[in-house]
Structures are given as C-alpha cells and as structure tokens.
Homo-oligomer: A and B are copies of this chain.
Amino acid sequence: MKPYLIAALLVAAAPAFAQQPPAPLPPVSPQVTALRDAALHDELAYDIVEGLTTEVGQRLAGTEAEARGREWAVRKLEALGFANVRIEPFDMPVWTRGPESAEILAPFSQKLVIAALGNSASTPSGGITGEVVGFDSLAALEAAPDAAVRGKIVFVSHAMPRTQDGSGYGFFGGPRRLGPSMASRKGAIAIVIRSIGTDYHRNPHTGVMMFAEGVKPIPAGALPLSDAEQLQRILKRGKAVTMRLTLVSQVSRGQSGNVIAEVPGRDPKLAPILVAGHLDSWDQGTGAVDDATGLAIVTAAAKRIMDSGRPLHTIRVVWFGAEEVGLFGGRSYQATHTEPHYAIAESDFGTGRVWKVDSRLGKERESEARSLQAALAPLGIVPGALDKADGSDIGPMLEAGVPGVTLNQDGTYYFDIHHTPDDTLDKVDREALRQNVAAWTAMLAVLSGGIQTDPKRAKRR
C-alpha cells in the first residue's frame, strides 16, 4: 500500500490522537527578538546582586541594615537613570535573633545545630530544659492527646520532596507555619522542627511563623535535616530524650519601606506595569538568591527597555521591604496604590532558569498573552496557563484581581539554600540569571505596548 494511504488509515484509526500540541504561537516582532537575545549577554543583574550583597549584606526587615539597603537602592536606581526614584516608608514590628543553641543531654549527649523561627518566643539566656516528644508529621502531632505533649519540647518532622514548581513548600511547610500554635495549644513548652528544606548541609532553615490569635507564643526552632534525622534516630531508641534549648530573641518597633523607580511611558494616563522583588532578607546569609537576584533581574530588564527607547506604558520597578516577615511591603503598597495596574509580576524564587510562563491578563487580552508565550518559548520556556498568576508581595493584589504574569523559575534546588546561612553570592548561576533577564526583558517588551526608539529621548530622562 502507498505510504500515504497507510497514514490516512492511521489517522482514521486514532482520530483524536491525544498528544497533539497546541497550534504554533504567533510570530515574534524583530524588536522583541532583538531585545530578548541581547539580554542573554546581560551583566547588570549580576552587578546588582554582587553590589547589594557585598556592600550591604543581610537586610533583615525593619532593621538599620535594611535601611542601608534602601539607601543603596536609591543611589543605584538613580545612577542607572530611572525616574521618580523614591522610598515609601511604613512602620512595623521587628523580631531579631539572639544567641541560639540546642543540646541533647540524654540519652546520648551531643550538640545540635538550630535556628529560631521568626517570631519565636525567647527562652531565658540560660535556655530551657525538657523532654522531647517526636512526631513524624503535623497530622501526627494534631492527633496526639494533650497529655502526651504537655510540658514537653515537641519535635515535628515532614517529608518535603524537591519540586521544580515549589509546590512542596505549601503543604510540607505546615510544621513551621502551623506547628508552633498547635504545640502551644497542647501545652508544649517549645517546638523544634525539621527544617523546611531539601538539602543535607548542616544549615538550619529559618522562616516566619505567626502564632494564632490567643495562643501563647513558645520558643520555636528549626534543625538541619541531618540533625533532625539524628534526633529521630535517638528518639526511636525508646529512651527518654532530654534537650536544652536556647533561643533568645527580642522584639521592638521599626521602620521599613518600598523603593520605587520608573521608566516613564509615552502615555502617562495608561496604567503602569509593575515588576518587583523584595529588598529585605533573612539575617543569616546575605540574601543573594532571596531575593537580590529577583531585584536584579527585574531592574536589569527595565533598564534594557529604558535604554532602547520609550515604552507606551510606564514600567514601575518596586523593591519591596519586609516581605519575609509577613508581606508588609506588599500590603503597604496595595493600601497606598489603589490606581489600576496594567500587569504586575514578581521575581522571588532564586536563581534558577525560567521554565514556564503563566499569566492572567483576562480573556480580552488572550492574544497578548499568547504573544508573550511566543516571545519566551525560544528561551526554553513552556507556555503555561492563561488563567493563573502568583507572587509573594504581589499576592494580595493578585487576589484582588489585578492582571499578572508569573515567570516560573526552576525551584528544584531553591529549598537547599532558602532561609539558610548558605544564601550567599556564590550560589548565583550567572547563565541562568541572564536567561531570567532575557525572559523579563521579552515580557516587558511585549506588554509595554511597543517601544519608540528615539535615541535623543531614550538616552536619559
């Protein structure tokens, strides 16, 4: 039989063949292609990460270190030529870490590595001592009778896997976010958890938690995975385990702020595009991948648009303050900036390559969303959902219905570093950083409504 007859027969035999991909995407304009591909040679993003982490270092929310970060940001953004550079300050409670240690006194005396969770209650400087009761999961703690927990130090484990999309962080983050309140309600004197992380380096993962209303705060800390498993093995020997736990901290009031800079659009009446990261970091590393890279990526992309001409829509770059401790910067911005936004997007997932684009621009802007997918596909970015967007600081605005884009970064290794002392410059993958800048540049080039290239006006505003 002629081959094409056989083929026709095959098609007939499998009429709705399941693996058909969507139709090819629309063509990408030469302007977008050129901007995107030039950004693959970007040096600015790394320069920003290197500068901020070297000249400021850690930037715990509400502290003078974060304030130095804001000053650094203003100088940098002005030097880069952005317009309307300003700080929008806000007040906030500030939790700061003091001396911390953990030691098993019996049955096998040894020191463990530990870090307090944000908002942990403070122990006395000499620590507290108690018997440890262990649970393999938050569900096991919840099912335990109060009598099994009362007066003890609770340990809670979990089985968080690596995920590219970071989806393990929600459910398996439960021991950190819900465990302290649950343990306190049952009468525990403290809680230590297996770090919400995926690495076996000897680094504990901190992170914020909030005691539920009316619940008495107790000291709460995280052990590295290695130490958590050591504790589990010791507990499984069946003898009473005694721990001395020192988690000193203090609380005060302080100030944080959002740093804002703009690339003015040709039509100031049009809603701006907001691109963001967060300036604050946890206190143990230098906040290189959480989130100096995010700031750097969106700023470098906006700078590329600015240097190429004048976009139709204003591009607003926001370096949010106080994300880590409860999205204070995002909420402050949302309360102040009730004006419409054309689209909002945030980079806050480290240094991995962008692997998928999701967006939620609305039904009437679907062709724009598909143009965005087309512009990103050559960077190895999967066209994702058209009805979905997320982000941390921008989360509340997205929940309120503001159009958004998510350039999903590969998070396979993100939770190896996240909230640990290991979050330092050397973890930044420079090639992946450039791919990120190219993706964000392409996104801005597509969404900003066309860039008018007028060398005189483009040079410096």
From B1, B20, B159, B381, give the contact of A251 (CB < 8 A).
Answer: B1
Q: Does A395 contact B (CB under 8 A)?
A: yes
Contact between chains at B14 and A171 (CB < 8 Å):
no
Contact between chains at B93 and A21 (CB < 8 Å):
no
Shortest CB distance A430–B (Å):
18
Q: How far is the CA of A20 from the CA of B374 in the complex (A)?
A: 34
Q: How far is the CA of A182 from the CA of B9 in the complex (A)?
A: 19
Inter-chain contacts of A139 with B (CB < 8 A): 24-28, 374, 377
Q: How far is the CA of A6 from the CA of B118 in the complex (A)?
A: 12
User: A residues engaging B (CB < 8 A)?
Assistant: 1, 3-4, 6-11, 13-14, 16-22, 24-28, 92-93, 95, 119, 121-122, 136-139, 142-143, 159-165, 167-174, 177-178, 210-217, 251, 325-328, 331, 353, 355-356, 374, 377-384, 392, 395-396, 399, 410, 412
From B13, B164, B399, give the contact of A163 (CB < 8 A).
Answer: B164
Inter-chain contacts of A174 with B (CB < 8 A): 21, 24
From B9, B328, B382, B412, give the contact of A13 (CB < 8 A).
Answer: B328
Contact between chains at A7 and B177 (CB < 8 Å):
no
Inter-chain contacts of A163 with B (CB < 8 A): 164, 355-356, 382
Q: How far is the CA of A48 from the CA of B372 in the complex (A)?
A: 46
From B162, B217, B380, give the contact of A7 (CB < 8 A).
Answer: B217
Known: A3-B122, A3-B217, A6-B95. A14 touches B170 (CB 8 A): no
Q: How far is the CA of A327 from the CA of B20 in the complex (A)?
A: 13
Whose C-beta in chain B lies nearest to the C-beta of A16?
B396
Shortest CB distance A170–B (Å):
5
Contact between chains at A18 and B327 (CB < 8 Å):
yes
Inter-chain contacts of A383 with B (CB < 8 A): 171
Contact between chains at A378 and B13 (CB < 8 Å):
no
Q: How far is the CA of A210 from the CA of B8 in the complex (A)?
A: 8
Q: How far is the CA of A381 from the CA of B165 in the complex (A)?
A: 14
Q: How far is the CA of A16 from the CA of B214 in the complex (A)?
A: 16
Of A25, A138, A377, A383, chain B has the most CB atoms within 10 Å of the CB of A377
Shortest CB distance A344–B (Å):
14
- A–B pairs, 20, beta carbons within 8 Å: A1-B251, A6-B93, A6-B95, A8-B214, A10-B93, A10-B119, A10-B325, A13-B93, A13-B326, A17-B326, A17-B327, A19-B169, A19-B170, A20-B177, A22-B171, A25-B139, A27-B143, A164-B164, A167-B382, A168-B382
Inter-chain contacts of A27 with B (CB < 8 A): 139, 143
Contact between chains at A178 and B24 (CB < 8 Å):
yes
8 nearest CB pairs, A to B: A14-B326, A164-B164, A161-B380, A159-B380, A7-B211, A6-B251, A4-B217, A3-B121
Contact between chains at A21 and B382 (CB < 8 Å):
no
Q: How far is the CA of A174 from the CA of B211 in the complex (A)?
A: 50
From B13, B95, B210, give the contact of A11 (CB < 8 A).
Answer: B210
Inter-chain contacts of A93 with B (CB < 8 A): 6, 9-10, 13
Whose C-beta in chain B lies nearest to the C-beta of A4?
B217
Inter-chain contacts of A1 with B (CB < 8 A): 251
Contact between chains at A327 and B160 (CB < 8 Å):
no
Shortest CB distance A174–B (Å):
5
Contact between chains at B25 and A167 (CB < 8 Å):
no
Inter-chain contacts of A6 with B (CB < 8 A): 93, 95, 119, 217, 251
Shortest CB distance A161–B (Å):
4
Known: A21-B170, A139-B377, A171-B377. 11 other contacts (CB 8 A): A3-B121, A4-B216, A6-B217, A8-B214, A13-B326, A21-B172, A161-B380, A163-B355, A164-B164, A167-B382, A170-B382
Whose C-beta in chain B lies nearest to the C-beta of A120?
B3
Q: How far is the CA of A215 from the CA of B14 in the complex (A)?
A: 16
Shortest CB distance A456–B (Å):
34
Whose C-beta in chain B lies nearest to the C-beta of A173?
B21
Q: How far is the CA of A121 from the CA of B355 in the complex (A)?
A: 34
Contact between chains at A210 and B328 (CB < 8 Å):
no
Q: How far is the CA of A162 from the CA of B94 in the complex (A)?
A: 41
